[in-house]
Amino acid sequence: MDFQQLCTLETFQQVWSHYGYGGNLQDAVDQEFTRIKGNPHSHSPSSRLTHDTVERVRYRVLQHFNATPQEYSVIFTSGCTAALKLVAESFPWRPQTESEAGSLFCYFTDSHTSVVGIRGLLSGRGVVALCISPSEVVNRAKEEAQGEDVIYQTPHLFCYPAQSNFSGRKYPLSHVKGIQMRHLYPACDHQGRWFVLLDAASHVSCSPLNLQDCPADFIPISFYKMFGFPTGLGALLVRNDAADMLKKTYFGGGTAAAYLSGEDYYVQAANISDRFEDGTVSFLDIIALNHSFEALYRITGGMNNIQQHTFGLARYTYMLLSSLCHGNRQPVAQIYNEGQFESPSTQGAILNFNLVDSLGQMIGYSQVDRMASLYNIHLRTGCFCNTGACQSFLGITNQQMKRNLQAGHVCGDSIDLVDGQPTGSVRISFGYMSTFEDCQKFLKFVAECFVEKPITVDQERLEKLKMATTGTQSFNLNPPIKFTNEKIYNVDEKEKPTEPSLKGLGQRDLNSHREAYTLTNIYIYPIKSCGAYEVHDWPVGPLGLLYDRGWMVVNGNGVCLSQKRETRLCLIRPQVHLTSNKLLLQASGMDSISVPLENNNQMNTSYRVCQTKVCNDRVETVDCGDEAASWLSNFLGQPCRLIRQNPDFTRDMKKGPRGVATSTSLSLVNEAQYLMINHASVELIQKLMRSRQDNSEGDQLLDTQNVISRFRANLVIAGVEPFEEDNWSHLIIGNTQFVVAGQCGRCQMVGVDQDTGTKTKEPLMSLSAYCTGKVTFGLYLAHQLPEGSSPGSVLSVGSLVQPESQKS
């Protein structure tokens, strides 16, 4: 729900026209970009036009921050991180000597990774990196400012965020002068000259920044965080008085006044911006900024209006989310912030939280993210490149962070809980395109998916929050939101007093007569993410079921297509004809075509080999030719190609079963050779769906076969208790031995109806209501073979299934 994702050209056009600005936005942009542009380092008419336009944009950037070219220079970079790196590499760090202390680099614990990363450049330079908590700056300050040190000129750098990208907390901009005048800690305790690096990337997206009030020496910013476009463009604002302190070692095109290739002679450009912009700047993106600023002010009237609007949305959402409770009065959310959203001067338009179930257990952020996608809500999850704030708010110690890494959790992955404790959180950010309807949609999503009925609101807390206003500003909870019980999972209190009884819903008497465990269905999916091909008997190959996920469809950029983005893939019904050595492609309204199952030597030399990725694994593939590409492109309405895994390429499971000799080479599957589900577990989820839908209107109950098809398993078994399979470690089907490789995590793809290609919220919502922690359904399997042997067996419907449970 980050606002830059909403800033499409179509949206801009609507508001552009609404406010009567110059007709068509696209025409204005086209007019700008049809003028010939040239390299601004040259002197042709097109180059001079480009140079002058870029200089005009520099002035426009400074005007936005109430600064002048006499005070500040604008150095364009590839982003905020590149701006920070520029300062780190150019700052005149001094090592400690016998007569003088060395330079200090000080930063907040609540700092972005790109700030903390500066210390990586300092380890070999004798410079001390000092991490301090935000409270220390004021608590350890001197009563009187020490003033600028005229004797000791050792340069020190203090960096802090104007606004936390984790919690939205705004830190006092007065810290800038307080550090420069050596009034605040740590400047007050260390002699030398102190410079301030103000990380403004998060702050300037929705708040004004007046450099007359906080004359920081270096201010990195990112334009896509302000406008949504252009991406890959940022800037470093440098106070001219501090610019001469920066010393470059590398010099690129356009940065030199003169140099000699055969002699160590170099004179840097006199202009500060020219000095630090190596090579040709991204001048077309820079020119686009002119239109971005123009649209921003025409649409909104300025940053003060944006700040008030976005803060109102964030506070509205905070008040209701923090007051929302389960039916047993337990709060629904744990919110990570310092205050109570009292004022936009202390809190930005960011809300960071984790959801909690009615038993007080944390709900993993990955589960929240998956469910949000069903509502077309886009969230940010994890630690947001701010480990310090994440540790502080979530109470994660350094030792726990290291243990989480040992448990397999790394930054940016989906491991959201380790030993029941969260590894990150959920963040929603508001922008000037956000509306109250967005807030209401998000709150209703939380209520529908994660709140146990009857929904309650802590009215006492809500009233206190309404009164928590500053100055003369008042805040009305307007528009109001009404939480209803519609479409919210409801189980009679007698059936669901606690979580364990929910687990028992639909289970049969464990002492009753059991049916034999049998294999009831076999499915292969010859083309990844396309329709299933059901078979009665099928050979086991070295990579799993023969020809299962041996092919896949890629878009015009060579990226694998899946039903997450292209649901119509399920309407393609491939069939494997072993006797004729053909893969048949068929779909409604299309003539069938075929491609060979095995490529002969001639095809291997004529069809190109290409590289792509499956689940972040590099795979080597072979293109299947223009006929198949044309057929797929016509059906899907976009440029596509059919590729198959190169038979000479091998790819192994990332997390193979431990302690057993298995063949774990993979086809183009995501995780494992086989996926197995239990018919009884499907029936239980179906009962949960029925329980939910009994309290809803207009929802059509999905039949069992429809639900089975959505889980896209290779093997379906029967005669087992619901979810009994989750405790298995090994099994034998017929004469083939398998080892369990893990449980299958589920996402929004199970919402795709495999018969029609339409999306629904079920069965993921019911599955999410059943699961605690990670949402899983089905087992990953690998066939277990003696070392050096090949499968050579056949799986048949009706075969006996002999499981072995994990030992306690």
Amino acid in position 562: S
Answer yes or no: are the C-beta atoms of 425 and 390 closer than 8 Å: yes
Which DSSP category does 524 fall into?
Answer: E
Q: How far apart are CA 364 and CA 345, in angstroms?
A: 31
Q: How far apart are CA 502 and CA 492, in angstroms?
A: 10
Q: How many CB atoms lie within 10 A of CB 737?
A: 18
Q: How far apart are CA 432 and CA 326, in angstroms?
A: 32
- Say how many CA atoms lie within 13 Å of 583 toward its Cβ: 25
Q: How many CB atoms lie within 10 A of CB 450?
A: 23
Answer yes or no: are the C-beta atoms of 366 and 414 closer than 8 Å: yes
Q: How far apart are CA 136 and CA 160, in angstroms?
A: 13
Its sign, for the CA torsion 122, 124, 126, 132, is positive
Answer yes or no: are the C-beta atoms of 436 and 316 closer than 8 Å: yes
Q: Residue 22: helix, strand or coil by DSSP?
A: coil
Burial class (CB in 10 A: 0-12, 13-18, 19+), 667: buried
Q: How far apart are CA 382 and CA 393, in angstroms?
A: 13
- Helical packing angle, 283-300 and 9-18, nearest 10°: 40
Catalytic option among 206, 214, 385, 624: 385
Q: How far apart are CA 805 and CA 783, in angstroms?
A: 17
- The beta strands (E) that lie in 646-753 are given as 674-678, 715-718, 728-733, 736-745
- Helical packing angle, 436-450 and 303-323, nearest 10°: 20
Burial class (CB in 10 A: 0-12, 13-18, 19+), 551: buried
Burial 419-447 (b: 16+ CB within 10 A, else e): eeebbbbbbbbbbbbbeeebbbebbbbbb
For the question of residue 385 being annotated catalytic, the response is: yes
Q: How far apart are CA 644 and CA 17, in angstroms?
A: 48
User: What tokens appear for 710 in the block?
Assistant: 């959505």
User: Which residue matches tokens 């590289």?
Assistant: 611
Q: How far apart are CA 526 and CA 549, in angstroms?
A: 5
- Enumerate the active-site residues: 385
